Amino acid sequence: MMGGPLGALLGASLGNYFDTGLDGINLDDSLGLGATERVQSVFFTTTFAVMGYIAKSDGRVTKDEIALADQVMRRMHLNQRQRTVAINLFNEGKKPHFPVHEVLAQFKRESFRRRNLVQMFLEIVVATAFADGRMDTREQHVLEEIARDLGYNQNQFNELLSRLTGQAHFAEQVSTEEKLIAAYELLGVTEGKSDADIKRAYRKQMNQHHPDKLVAKGLPEEMIEIATQKTQDIKLAYELIKLHRK
């Protein structure tokens, strides 16, 4: 469909579906670089393969990491054939000598400067490392390399990691005080910021994660629930901060 390492990955994962096509994965080779349907296939392929790569990066794949991949599949409401391909891609990513840098280079090129889409991908794969409740040194090193391949500098990656840590804590059953701290982290601001600064941060995060905008840029429609959950968390965090400040 698209050639390069992503085409090879998808071809290997489709198996005997390759000739007949797969619901939700467009195999039309007339789709040019940047076409939404093509980008959706690229996103699907890269996401599950790199999730497998990260899960194996610390030497073993935990039950929590497998459960997270399964959770993503369930939230995407994949049919049985799509699910089979997603599992195959995850397993391809676990293999020795997985060409992660080549895969990411093609993903970045195919994403065609869709920065918010690239960020969404990075957020999903970072969550894989957090699946077992911690991130070890090897996993963080791998994620930093992935971020660099996608054009993020160290500060940008650290800010992203802080927001995702905040989102993870915000979703937990914690005290009101801890929830408030997590809300600030989720929005990427500190408590000392003004109301205007916090509102700007909130609007920026909502704009970056708006489901309809992400789907228009190439997020597979099956992943809209994941994006919707993120915007709900962002909104709840902002409402909590506003309530506390009143």
pLDDT of residue 201: 96
Of 114, 118, 117, 127, whose CA–CA distance to 233 is shortest? 127
Q: Which amino acid is at 55?
A: A
Name the 3-class secondary structure at 25. Answer: strand
Q: What is the structure's pLDDT at 34?
A: 59
**Token pair for residue 68?**
């997270």
Of 227, 193, 130, nearest to 238 by C-alpha is 193
| Domain map (residue ranges) of the chain | 4-245
Residue 125: CB partners within 8 Å, gap ≥ 6?
47, 50, 51, 54, 143, 146
Higher-scoring residue by pLDDT: 172, 19: 172
**Cα dihedral 156/204/124/105 (nearest 10):** -60
What is the arithmetic mean of pLDDT over 54-76? 81
CB atoms within 10 A of CB 179: 18
pLDDT of residue 186: 95
CA distances to 63, 95, 123, 167, 201 from 163, rounded to whole Å, are 25, 30, 10, 6, 11
CA dist 91 and 105 (Å) reads 20
In angstroms, the CA 198 to CA 201 distance is 5
| Secondary structure (3-state) at 79 | coil
Q: Render pLDDT for 12-35 as a digit per residue (tens, 0 to 9).
A: 888 644 444 445 555 455 555 557
Tens digit of pLDDT for each residue in 190-221?
A: 999 999 999 999 999 999 999 998 988 888 88
